[in-house]
Amino acid sequence: MTLAFLILAVLTVAGGVAAMTLRRLVHCALALTVAFAGLAALYLNLGAEFAGLAQLLVYVGAIAILIVFAILLTHGGESDPEKVFSPAGIAGGVIALAVFAVLGWAVTTSSVAHGWGAGAAAQTSAPQTSVREIGLTLMQRYVLPLEVIALMLTAAMIGAVILAWREKRSVDPGAPSAPPSPELRV
Amino acid sequence: MVAGGAADQVFVNLDHWIVGHTPVPLQTLVSIVISIATIIVVFAGLFALTTVFERKGLGRIQNRYGPNRVGPCGVFQPLADAVKSLTKEDVVPRSADHVVHYLAPLVLVGVVFLTYAVLPVGRNMTAVNLDAGVLFFFAVGAGTELAIFMAGWSSHNKYSLLGAMRAIAQMISYEIPLILSSVAVIMTAGTLSTVAIVEKQARYSSTLAHWYVFTPWGLAGFILFMIAATAETNRSPFDLPEGESEIIAGYFIEYSGFKFALFFLAEYLEMFAVSGLGITLFLGGWSAPFSFLTWIPSWIWFFGKLLTLIFAFIWVRGTLPRLRMDQLMNFAWKFMLPMTLIVILSAGIWHFLTAAVVGPKPLGAVIRWLVCALVIFAPFITLARTLERGRKIEKRTYRFAE
Amino acid sequence: MNPLAGCLLVSALLFSVGLAGALTRRSAILVLAGIELMLNAANLNFIAFWRFGPHPEALTGFIFVIFSIAVAAAEAAVGLALILAIYRHARTSDVSEITEMKG
Amino acid sequence: MLGEGILKGLGETARNFAGSFVSAERLTTVQYPEERIAPIEATRDFPFLVYDGADWEAGLRCVACQICEKECPPRCIHIEKSKDKKPDFVGKAQFYPAVFDIDVAVCMSCQICVEVCPFDAIRMDNKFELSTTDRFGGLLWTKEQLAKPNEYYRQIHPTEAAETDERRVKELADAKAKAAAAAAAAAAKAAQQAAPGDGVSAVPTTPAKVVPQ
């Protein structure tokens, strides 16, 4: 439990909390990015260099940008501050607190955390894993999951493209007419 | 072989000497501070030089002199610019999101400086020798997009938002060919570490170095990499995000004074960083092209190559007009992406066409070269033909002008 | 507190924050963001167990995280495309207003 | 082939780049404060007042007729007539401007003042390095600042000045002839008075007033 770990943990959780509570959606997205980056730094701190960098590349470089784009394309930047939380807000918060209580209780009392953690606490240096080893493991032992993931990514890409494809508006007089397409606004 | 002699390691020895003379508990800290300070000073200085050389070079291309007033031949021009930008009023729009507006240039410059950590600027001269160096470069570089978005959105100006959206769309599109063209090198070198990639290229068979740019896939990959890098750093002809004629300055339209200077700095630093990565991946990093030139210090080689690439950037900027948005996107997805995939294929073929397959040295090497070149060139011709067939060039007719 | 328990606690906290967000926020995008946070919390657990577990050289947790990141990327892409499609249809991305399945 | 045009363009710019170091005629830039292009003769910007002789106050051609003040479209000329008179170049007693100001911040260099001046007193200058740190006083030019010798005028607009000089010489000659004629007439009159019945042969028929062109 080093100081660096503590600082990064606080940063990450603060980013997460800010992302879930701030009023403007773009601020939420930026706070979410802080949480993602903090997690990447936590991975690096734990010695998982490749995973940390992959997290940074995928989450900060792609997902955060995607979320930002989605916010702007759905006019999320101008949501009125009255209706940020849903009516079931308090119930949700209580459920989350209950989940945290259970998880925390499990962590603090479990023998796994104490047994392994106590044993590994002496093992201060991170296990040395080169990118080469990771690549070989991926290509030998986990080659089938890798292929499945590749297939799934392709399917997801095609699906996302089809979903985002602008549908042809059928002329339906009964349907409530959409407001005239408003331009991109913050 | 003591390549480069004493001059080669002069900075490394200086660093060791300084660290050796500090008290032991402070040594790590001092070593880190020295690395950071060196990177900042050297590359910020290079930025200052580049601004004046770019303006002079563009001037020469347009048959002008360029700046030549401040100091001898105008070399103190950056100093004058610095004084100007530091003394200008820092205007922040009233409706801007102040915190994000303030943070955006800082995040941008910080992120760009981070990417320099893995660049080997000379033998034993890498700030951090990461096992996943190239991945680190791209992962950290992804932060620039977010910083640009922050700048564009927080200014609360439709032009800056448009510029930011353009910049992000462009950077994401061109990041794919950028990474894919580096994949060919990573595949052949078998490592993600920038230091190891350079060391793989710093070997010599007879006199010629094993630079990847001397292979057909390396040459094609290098060209594709540099095109993608130009787009990635928003430089002309891909400078749509800041197109003056339509969206004035794009995402930094509402920035003035020192913050504007920071954006300017970040843009150039990005260019140096991505050029440095191109040098590391394709042009042999700090190594000399011929074995009889190894007496020149390694850092001179690196910075010489960097200056050459910067000149190429300036040259291209002085030549090509700005693209249109749809042309830009079409180029990325219809040309760059397939070509980079073909380069990866060619690199794979190169890897397996060893001497055992194609025969002994002189003839075998030629066959290997030709086969790999053909694998790239034939699809290139086909692709170019296909793209040109779809392009209709007609005489324009004007409805109202005539 | 030992390092593993610390990691697990941070992860639990992050998971609860994500869960609270996903349950309470009205914006569909933030619901998705909350789910991403929960996924990330799970990833942190994998890394922690890999790091402090008995067999770090087996790389199981590590590889799982890499796969999980890939899945998260796919999930985000499809999820946001869905939100866009719904927004285009219903002119809102507020989950408490999207109550009809009729198109 | 794809990329051919780009290479051609790069070749062109490379030629420009290298050529600008080799051939001087490629670089058309004039390094302004050190080198400068001589202004062409018809160049004009702001008016000045012409004077003859060495003393500017005595030689000022302006007679404060105020035609230019009235004609000036942006009303940038301000003239106050003197109370007394002084002789002009032909010796006739004329008013002179006690105050003659031009606000060059307002002047639009239309040259109408020059066109209408019957006395060739106001002409256009070609001096353009006129920066000042004083927005109000610095741009309001008084009589002292406006007065420039005729030699200066000849120097900047030689053709125009030659025409003016020629006309003025003729005017002077005419005036002298008229004066001589008047003197002759006076003498004849005196002689007639002295010896009535003598002829009036030598009187010239030139009009009394010189019509300006």
Partners of B290 in beta bridges = B208
Q: How far out from the chain centre does Cα A144 lie?
A: 25
**Alpha helix locations (H) across B205-324?**
216-232, 244-247, 257-281, 298-319
Cβ(C53)–Cβ(A51) below 8 Å? no
Tallying the residues shown for chain B, one arrives at 402
Cβ atoms B167, B325 nearer than 8 A: no
pLDDT above 50: residue B1: no
Does residue A91 belong to any structural domain of this protein? no
pLDDT digits (tens, 9 = 90+) for B334-353: 889 999 999 999 998 888 88
From chain A, the residues in CB contact with B195 under 8 A are none
> pLDDT digits over A29-57, tens only?
899 999 999 999 998 888 888 888 989 88
| Residue A186 distance to chain C (closest CA, Å) | 15
Helix (H) or strand (E) holding B205: strand B204-205
Cβ partners under 8 Å of residue B305, min gap 6: B279, B283
C-alpha span between D148 and D145 (Å, rounded): 8
CA distance D42 to D111: 12
pLDDT of residue D23 exceeding 80, the answer is yes
B63 to D28: CB separation less than 8 angstroms, yes or no: yes
Read off the pLDDT band of A186 (50, 70, 90).
very low
Could D19 and B320 be called an inter-chain contact, meaning their C-beta atoms sit closer than 8 Å? no
C-alpha triplet B176, B181, B183: angle, nearest 5°:
95
Q: Which span out of A41-50, A146-155, B238-247, B283-292 was modeled with the highest average pLDDT?
A: A146-155
Same domain, A1 and A70: yes
Domains of chain C: 3-90 (1.10.287.3510)
Chains D and A are touching, with contact defined as 3 or more CB–CB pairs separated by less than 8 Å = no
Average pLDDT over residues B248-258: 82
**Across the interface, do A156 and C77 touch by the CB < 8 Å criterion?**
yes
Tokens of residue B37, six digits: 């300070």
Q: How far apart are CA A50 and CA A43, in angstroms?
A: 9
Q: Tell me how close the Cα of D36 comes to any Cα of chain B, in angstroms.
A: 16
Verify cis geometry, omega within 30 degrees of 0, for the bond prior to B237. Answer: yes
Place B183 in a pLDDT band, splitting at 50, 70 and 90.
very high
Number of other residues whose CB lies within 10 A of the CB of residue B352: 10
pLDDT, chain B, mean: 85
Residue A167 clears pLDDT 70, i.e. is over it? no
Contact C63 A67 (CB under 8 A): no
3-state per-residue secondary structure call for C24-85: HECEHHHHHHHHHHHHHHHHHHHHHHHHHCCCHHHCHHHHHHHHHHHHHHHHHHHHHHHHHH
In chain D, what's the furthest Cα-to-Cα distance? 112
Q: Dihedral angle at the C-alpha atoms of B92, B96, B98, B100, nearest 10 degrees? A: -120
Look at residue A24 in the predicted model and tell me its pLDDT. Answer: 83
Sign of the CA dihedral running B279, B284, B285, B289: negative
Structure confidence at residue A127 (pLDDT): 65
Q: How large is the ipTM?
A: 0.77
Subunits touching C (CB < 8 Å, at least 3 pairs)? A
Average pLDDT over residues C77-91: 83
| Domain assignment present for A54 | yes
Q: Is the CB of residue B321 less than 8 Å from the CB of residue B237?
A: yes
In a domain, A68, yes or no: yes
Q: What is the DSSP string of chain D?
A: -TTHHHHHHHHHHHHHHHHHHH-GGG-----TTTS-PPPPTT---SEEEEE-SS-HHHHB------HHHHH-TT--EEEEE-SS-EE-TTS-EE--EEEEEEETTT-----HHHHH-TTS-EEE--------S-SSGGGEE-HHHHEEEHHHHHHHSHHHHHHHHHHHHHHHHHHHHHHHHHHHHHHHHHHHHHSTT---TT-----SSPPP-
Task: Tell me the nearest-neighbour CA distance from B221 into chain A, angstroms.
Answer: 22
Contact A19, A32 (CB under 8 A): yes
- Per-residue model confidence as pLDDT tens digits over B362-387: 788 888 888 888 888 888 888 888 88
Domain boundary among A46, A78, A110: A78
Collect all residues of chain D within an 8 Å Cβ-Cβ radius of residue B62. Answer: 16
Contact A49/B139, CB-based, under 8 Å?
Answer: no
Query: Which pLDDT does position D196 carry in this prediction?
Result: 59
Burial of B350 from C-beta contacts in 10 A (0-12 / 13-18 / 19+): buried
pLDDT band at A80 (very low <50, low <70, confident <90, very high): low
- Structure confidence at residue D204 (pLDDT): 47
Structural domain that includes position A17: 1-78
- What is the residue extent of each domain of chain B? 91-351, 353-386
Tell me which of D79 and B130 has the higher pLDDT: D79
**CA–CA gap between residue D61 and residue D90 (Å, rounded):** 11
Whether chain A has a CB inside 8 Å of the CB on B143: the answer is yes
Q: Residue A50 belongs to a domain with what CATH number? A: 1.20.120.1200
In this prediction, residue D16 has a pLDDT band, given cuts at 50, 70 and 90, of confident
pLDDT of residue B249: 75
Q: Which of B61, B380, B387 sits opposite D13 (nearest CB)?
A: B61
Structure tokens at B76: 């103190």
For residue A63, the chain C residues in CB contact (below 8 A) are 36, 72-73, 76
Length of chain A: 186
Q: Which of A27-36, C92-101, D137-146 has the least mean pLDDT? A: C92-101
Task: Write down the pLDDT at residue B269.
Answer: 92
Phi and psi dihedrals of D105, rounded to 5?
A: -70, -25
Nearest CB neighbour to B132, from listed A68, A131, A186: A131
Lowest mean pLDDT among A105-114, B28-37, C28-37, D182-191: A105-114
**B196 class by beta-carbon count within 10 Å (0-12 exposed, 13-18 middle, 19+ buried):** middle
* pTM of the full structure: 0.81
Share of chain B above pLDDT 90, in %: 17
In-domain check, residue A110: no
Whether B324 has a pLDDT exceeding 60, the answer reads: yes
pLDDT band of B402, cuts 50, 70, 90 = low
- The residues, any chain, with a CB within 8 Å of residue B389's CB and separated by 6 or more, are none
Specify whether the CB–CB gap between B318 and B62 falls below 8 A: yes
Strands D97-103 and D77-81, bridge-based pairing: antiparallel
Judging contact as 3 or more Cβ pairs under 8 Å, the answer for A and B is: yes
For residue D122, report the phi and psi dihedrals to the nearest 5 degrees.
-120, 135
Q: Which two tokens stand for residue B44?
A: 């910020």
- Phi and psi angles of residue A184, each rounded to the nearest 5 degrees, phi first: -60, 120
DSSP assigned state of B209: E
Please say whether the dihedral angle defined by the alpha carbons of residues D15, D17, D21 and D26, taken in this order, is positive or negative. Answer: positive
D-B interface (Cβ pairs under 8 Å ≥ 3): yes
Q: Which two tokens stand for residue C70?
A: 């890939």
For CA atoms C27, C29, C31, C33, the dihedral sign is: negative
Does residue A102 lie in a domain region? no
Cβ atoms of B146 and B302 closer than 8 Å: no
Is residue B231 over pLDDT 80? yes
The arithmetic mean of pLDDT across residues A151-168, rounded, is 83
Q: Are A72 and B165 within 8 A, CB to CB? A: yes
Q: If we measure between CA atoms, which residue out of B110, B46, B106, B105 comes closest to residue B78?
A: B46
- Confidence (pLDDT) at B393: 66
Nearest-angstrom CA–CA distance, B341 and B383: 13
Mean pLDDT of B44-59: 89
**Locate tokens 């606004």: which residue?**
A185
D1 touches chain B (CB under 8 A): yes
Of the spans A82-91, B23-32, B45-54, which averages the highest pLDDT?
B45-54
Q: Is D2 on the interface with B (CB under 8 A)?
A: yes
Neighbours of A160 (CB within 10 A): 21
B17 pLDDT higher than 80: yes
